Amino acid sequence: MKIYILIIILIISGCNFDFLTSYRCIENNKVRPVALIIDNKGLAEAAPRDTVSIHTSFGGEKVKTVQWYFSLPQSTGSNKDSSLLIPGSTVLFTNSFSDSINIQIRIPDSVIIKAFENSTSLKTLLPADTYDSIPTQLLEKKPSEIISALELLAYSDNSSSPQISNALQSIAGNTSSLEQNLPILLQVFTVPIKIHGIINGKYNIEATISVRYNTRLRNLGVFIPVNRNPVINQITLYKVRGELKSFSPHYDHSRIDTSYDFTKTKSITFEKGYSYFLFANMDFPVDTGISMYRAKGLEDFVFEWFYYNENPNGISADSLFLIENWPPNSGSIRLLPPLSRQVRHFSIWLVIYDYYLGERLRPVGFGVKQTDIEIVY
């Protein structure tokens, strides 16, 4: 599929990159996946036995048919398993510019157990430079023994039973060791399930859901990382007096002529002598990640803006509509007036997703917001 990338800006700080912001055109003769969100009661991850919602947003060509199948870890069986999909859970939403599909899947009970059933020791699953930081007795344990302990801790109804005490003892002899070892073990025993979709019989999409025990073990009293989906509350457009390259609603409040709340207003007018800035209003907690080497840190974010406009008389969409990045590391852009008055309707999507470098198979949290706009001349 042909994708137009207008601007890509990468901010580099030391060995880590901070924010990536890009802008992509959606063509009306091709299906364009905008975002695929794993939603487990607000979390971007799942544990065995969980029922999980998957929300997928599309732009461009209308979605008519979708086939879903799933690839489980290699030792668990078929690479094209459709049994995870809950019958009757598929719901399609559509409007003039976009489609979205919601489905639900159930995570198999034994997906982690089966993935490691042939592994001989924890040591074989770890990087060699982590051996010195993990007790020798734990390194030599069979993964099946450790997973049995994690299963008991995750799903037992009686937290004070002798079996729970034995399970904790098998992982770590005391609370301090548990806090040291458990986040590493949870990364080792995270498994990916690949999600595949075939749209209209010809477009392929793929995503991954990370399956781990983290959500089930948060009551142990030690730090267990989980990843929540970021939330975009709304997109606001500010009409600002003057030809400005940059603008802050806080510091340049006196320059604001009009603000458009796109949850209420669906039309705007571009006028000479004014600048227009789109801002995403986001209010969500930032999650903490932990690496295989026990380094903790806050997650970072990537922002992507997508736009679609009607394509009159076969004119290229990119020649009609322009976006400028401002600033390069946030959920905001400068919107330039269309180059042709033939442009009457367009749609804007903002997609945000998170990451933390160094955490094995960390789930990716997504947020998406779309607004459809009419231009009045």
In-domain check, residue 340: yes
- Are residues 171 and 245 both part of a single domain? no
Separation of alpha carbons 18 and 178, rounded Å: 31
**What integer pLDDT is reported at residue 11 of this predicted model?**
22
Has residue 23 got a pLDDT over 70? no
- Are residues 164 and 273 both part of a single domain? no
- Are residues 251 and 367 both part of a single domain? yes
In-domain check, residue 184: yes
Q: Which amino acid is at 376?
A: V
- Are residues 243 and 170 both part of a single domain? no
Residue where a domain stops, chosen among 168, 188, 208: 188
**67 neighbors 198 (Cβ within 8 angstroms):** yes
Give the predicted TM-score (pTM) of the model.
0.83
Give me the number of domains the chain comprises: 2
pLDDT in tens, 143-154: 999 999 999 889
pLDDT in tens, 224-236: 999 999 999 888 8
Separation of alpha carbons 237 and 112, rounded Å: 46
In-domain check, residue 294: yes
- Are residues 360 and 266 both part of a single domain? yes
List the domain range (segments joined by +) for residue 273.
232-375
- Are residues 240 and 362 both part of a single domain? yes
In-domain check, residue 203: no
Token pair recorded at residue 373: 């706009």
pLDDT in tens, 318-331: 555 566 665 555 67
CA neighbor of 237 nearest in space, from 268, 205, 197: 268
In-domain check, residue 167: yes
In-domain check, residue 55: no
Residue where a domain stops, chosen among 135, 167, 188: 188
In-domain check, residue 50: no
In-domain check, residue 64: no
Q: Which strands form 256-261's sheet, in the order they lie side by side?
A: 256-261, 232-241, 274-282, 332-336, 322-325
- Are residues 184 and 244 both part of a single domain? no
Please, which residues have CB within 8 angstroms of residue 28's CB and are 6 or more apart in sequence? 60, 61, 308, 310, 311, 317
Has residue 217 got a pLDDT over 50? yes
- Are residues 264 and 367 both part of a single domain? yes
- Are residues 265 and 349 both part of a single domain? yes
- Are residues 150 and 285 both part of a single domain? no
Cα–Cα distance list, 168 to 155, 177, 195, 304, 365 (Å): 14, 10, 34, 43, 30
Lowest pLDDT segment from 24-38, 196-210, 350-364: 24-38
Token pair recorded at residue 18: 């901070």
Residue where a domain stops, chosen among 188, 221, 248: 188
pLDDT in tens, 264-290: 667 888 888 999 888 888 877 899 999
Has residue 31 got a pLDDT over 60? yes
**What integer pLDDT is reported at residue 143 of this predicted model?**
94
Lowest pLDDT segment from 117-121, 265-269, 348-352: 265-269
